[in-house]
Amino acid sequence: MSDCIFCKIAAHEIPSTCAYEDDQIYAFHDLDPQAPVHVLIIPKKHIASLDEAQAGDAQLLAHMMLMVKEIAASLGLEKGYRVVINTGEDGGQTVPHLHMHLLGKRSLNWPPG
């Protein structure tokens, strides 16, 4: 999607600090980190939110989920981590391109705000 900031980041049209990349997904460090490690994992395909995902995206979503542990290991998150998908207005989503937050390297509170 031409005016989507995360599509542009995935296409390397806007700079970011890469944590992982393959043909389907891109992971990069959040500009405003909420933990010592805060990475965003996005599909290269534009999907506006989890609410917009379709059955045909199942393999892509599974790939994103299964790569989390690899990315977490590469970032030294052996003590654990949290994965968050903010969805829609009440979910606190501010960028309308599906992304998973991977947070770690500190003890995280529950429940979230």
Residue 38 a catalytic site member = no
Of the residues 38, 46, 99, 101, which is catalytic?
A: 99
Of the candidate spans 53-61, 63-71, 88-96, 104-112, the one that interacts with ligand AMP by CB under 6 A turns out to be: 88-96
Which of ligand AMP, Zn ion, none has residue 16 at its interface (CB below 5 to 8 Å by kind)?
A: ligand AMP
SS3 state of residue 43: strand
* Other CB atoms within 10 A of residue 94 CB: 7
Question: Is residue 66 involved in binding ligand AMP (CB under 6 A)?
Answer: no
Q: Where are the beta strands (DSSP E) in the chain?
A: 18-21, 25-29, 37-43, 81-84, 100-104
Pairing of strands 37-43, 100-104: antiparallel
Question: Is residue 7 involved in binding ligand AMP (CB under 6 A)?
Answer: no
Min dist CB 14 to ligand AMP, Å, is 6
First-to-last alpha carbon distance for the chain, in angstroms, is: 31
Question: Which are the catalytic amino acids?
Answer: 99
Residues that bind ligand AMP (CB under 6 A): 5, 14, 16, 30-32, 40, 86, 92-95
